[in-house]
Structure 1
Amino acid sequence: MQSNNKTVYSILFIIGTCHLLNDTLQAVVPAMFPILENSLGLTFTQIGLIAFTLNMVASVMQPFVGMYTDKRPMPYALPIGLGSSMFGMFGLALAPNFWAILASVLFIGLGSAVFHPEGSRVAYFAAGSRRGLAQSIYQVGGNSGQALAPVITALILVPLGQFGAIWFTFIAGLAVLFLIYIAKWYATQIDHSPVNVKARNGSGERDKRLSKAIKRALIVLVFIVFARSWYKNVISNFYAFYAIDRYGVTIAESQGYTFIFLLSGAVGTFLGGPFADHFGKRNVIIFSLLAAAPLALVMPFAGPVMAIFLLALLGVIIMSSFSVTVVYAQELIPGKIGTMSGLIVGLGFGMGAIGSVAVGSLIDFIGLTPTMMAAAFLPLLGLLTFLLPSDKNVREWYGG
């Protein structure tokens, strides 16, 4: 058993790598949309249903997986989950029609839903006293995997077509091997973990006033995740179209804007954890949204070169709170590590899926430029962060 204060970096780097591999598998699905449109003659409605299925299954299931494993820890759920994704990738490479694609995506979504809350729990166990840094190492893997979508499209799927997805079954297999090792370590942590002692002791001794304060804080966190997820998806899904329309760039060149934002977002995800360990989680969450707000407001009026710098800054700043909100929620209810991880990360996926549909409809209704201008106000919802209890107050609630 590791010391409670010792950070187990080897485990963190392995689980972070597995997160990168898992989210790379997810990134393959939207990267394949142009390929599938050509090879199977899919309509945009069918493509939308595929994206919705992937995001909703991967998001809605996460809190339920977390709640179940909080009560009955299942270390080997991690390799089993990636096994489901591996099966889904194999089906995706060979699928002859829309329904086969949809079934394959369902398996990929289920694998992701199992992986995320359990992977976050492993990061929590391996964190020692550096929970912000640990969660950042874990989460930056996922953000890096998502950022690989434009590269995957250009290097693998364009030359190889739909069958090119078969190569990603090997990536999934590699992740399964890593996760078998992780599961063995994870199993040694469960019985003696102070987190599980808290979970078994329950929370019946909390008074009603404390319970109301926790509920209020969770509601605020939901709005923060909403603002960040919607704005992130506006940029990652629609800014390429804006760049084509406003700057006259090619489709390939427009992908560069998206890649810059996603890559800098991965950097921000990593930096946010160590900053939170030093300056406090609530302070980093406040900075993440409020510092991004003026940049977001200027963004629709920037030229093609200035936009690159603004996107890079925005990605770093707005995503710096991604891992931090997970740790904040975990410490808000310390006996529910999986549930809180599944809620915050799953909510991000779900909000993103709903946001993509809503923003797409708004673009059809009022146009691309007015929608980008309206979306620029989303980070201002970060003002709600001032309603969150401070890190010190949260520690005092649990005698810390």
Structure 2
Amino acid sequence: MQNTKASGTSWYSVWLLTAGHFLSDFYANFLPPLLPVFISTLGLSLTSSGLLVMVYSLTSNVIQPFCGYLIDRRGYAWTLLLTILVSAIFICLSPLSPNLLLLYIGVAFSGLATSFFHPLGSSLIGKVALPENKGLAMAIFIGGGNLGFALAPAAIIYYLVQYGTKNLPWLIIPAFLLTAAFYFAGIHRINLASLARDNATQVLPWYKNSGLIKLNAVMALRSWAQVSLLTFLPILLAIKGATATFAGSMLTLFLMGGAFGSCVGGYIGDKLGHKKCVIGSLIICIPVMYLFLNYDTFNWIAWLLLIVCGAALQSTVPSSIVWAQRILPGNAAMTSGMMLGLSFGLGGAGAALTGAIADNFGLNSALLLAIIPLIIAIPVACYVPYPSDPVNQNNEIYQIK
């Protein structure tokens, strides 16, 4: 009976954190649909729009390892009650900004809150999940974020058309409700810092840990291909004769495939091993991405190839986080930030190179070349060590009354 109760408490916490990841990434993808609003109301130029996106990318992705480092050293689990709420408030109020400076500041604060939530949420998942279900729990958590990210553009565009920007602040309410649920569940009282202190002498620091650095390189190479497709897929489809609506639908399929792949990847990682899952997913993605880019007919085969490509790319993420936490168990939040944030930011830099290649050799050729990072990632992943289970982590949420 006690084990059943513990399992129920564990899964309730996992699903609450997954809902948090859904909302966090839902709000995180508000910015692209809001850019036309900013251009209209504040006279934002394309250059300023690009800078705004860069500010958000830096604050929401690149600094995630630093946020994770602070969480590992100090705990800061209580910030769970602030992260999603702050992100929602600033992004939902951003269209009401009276000037460009306040817009940049608001977007930066929203990105910072997002950056803090991801390593915090991943670290908490590692604490509340039962040992035999860590990969699946992480997969569900990642899948929730992918689903929120995928649904956000269509949802926000529909909302703006129906209700206008003046009613956007009403979308803060879900963040308030979820924050209240976090509070009553007591997840914010879990001690995250103690694990870092207990294990600090047992492993190399991250900057000397070649395995962790190699794994981050693997995920950055994977992100290069993913971000390139996310960025240029609508343009590629338009070049091939697709309508804007169809291109948007295909992008949604790609993202939904990623959400599905996250859940499946975590389950497979638990059953077969997280290293095997990452390497296998990369191997599957290479021919599928190649076939899709060389397929010029928009039928169910193209849709299936794109869905499988998205699923294969994203199925690596939950297993990579669990793998990284095995390598550096005393820095669960920081390693999560590296796998979720830093690697994605580095992938964005690679996507910029893909864009430069596209200007000179054509977009389809440039995206085909983006498969090369996936090929390079496979042998690198093979040389990353896969440690045995790290020091047992107590799931402190079970002691919360």
Same fold (TM over 0.5): yes
Q: Paired residue for 2:128, among 104, 107, 126?
A: 126
SS in 1 for 2:209: helix
Structure 1 residue 37 and structure 2 residue 31: aligned?
no
Point out the more displaced range, 165-174 or 338-347. Answer: 165-174
- More off after superposition, 92-101 vs 282-291: 92-101
**232, 250, 264: which one pairs with 1:238?**
232
Q: Are 1:135 and 2:138 matched, yes or no?
A: yes
Pairing 1:308–2:303 present: yes
One-letter code of the match for 2:146?
Answer: N
Where does 1:1-400 land on structure 2 (aligned, <5 Å)?
6=7, 8-129=10-131, 130-182=133-185, 184-187=186-189, 189-190=190-191, 198-204=195-201, 215-246=209-240, 248-302=241-295, 303-305=297-299, 306-383=301-378, 384-390=380-386, 394-395=387-388
Residues 54-107 of structure 1, C-alpha deviation per residue, up to 9 Å, x if partnerless?
111112332122112212212211112223213312431312343332111111
Q: In 2 relative to 1, CA 82–398 (structure 1 residues): closer, same or farther, beyond 3 Å?
A: closer
Query: 2-side partners of 1:335 and 1:102: how far apart?
Result: 35
How far does the alpha carbon of each residue in 1:314-366 deviate from its partner, in whole angstroms, 9 at most, with x for none? 11112111111011101111111111111211213322442443333333333
Cα distance, 1:161 vs. partner? 4.4
The alpha-carbon distance between structure 1 residues 241 and 74, as it changes in their structure 2 partners (threshold 3 A), is same
Retained in 2: the 8 A contact 1:84–1:110? no
Task: Give % identity.
Answer: 26
Supply the distance in 2 between the matched residues of 1:165 and 1:365 (Cα, whole angstroms). 41
**Paired residues of 1:85 and 1:111 also in contact (CA < 8 A):** yes
CA distance, structure 2, for counterparts of residue 70 and residue 369 of structure 1: 43
Shift of residue 216, structure 1, vs aligned partner? 2.2
Unaligned runs of 5+ in 1: none
Contact 2:274 2:319 in 1 (8 A): yes
Q: Is the 8 A contact 1:16 1:137 kept in 2?
A: yes
Task: Please report the RMSD computed on the Cα atoms of aligned residues, expressed in angstroms.
Answer: 2.6
Structure 2 residue runs without a partner (length 5+): 394-401
Instruction: Report which stretch shifted further, 23-32 or 99-108.
Output: 99-108
Query: 1:34-55 CA deviation, whole Å, 9 max, x = no partner?
Result: 3333343322211111111111
Distance 1:245 1:316 in 2: 25
Give the distance between the partners of 1:352 and 1:95, measured in 2 at CA. 31
Residues 93, 164 of structure 1: 8 Å contact kept: no
SS in 2 for 1:76: helix
Query: SS of the residue aligned with 2:77?
Result: coil
Distance in 2 separating the partners of 1:124 and 1:95: 38
Distance of 1:233 and 1:214 partners within structure 2: 28
Give the SS at the match of 2:29: helix
Aligned AA for 1:272?
G
Shift of the 354–177 alpha-carbon distance from structure 1 to 2, 3 Å rule, reads farther
One-letter code of the match for 1:44?
L
Deviations along 1:249-273, whole A, 9 cap, x unmatched? 2111110110000001000011111
Count, aligned residues: 386
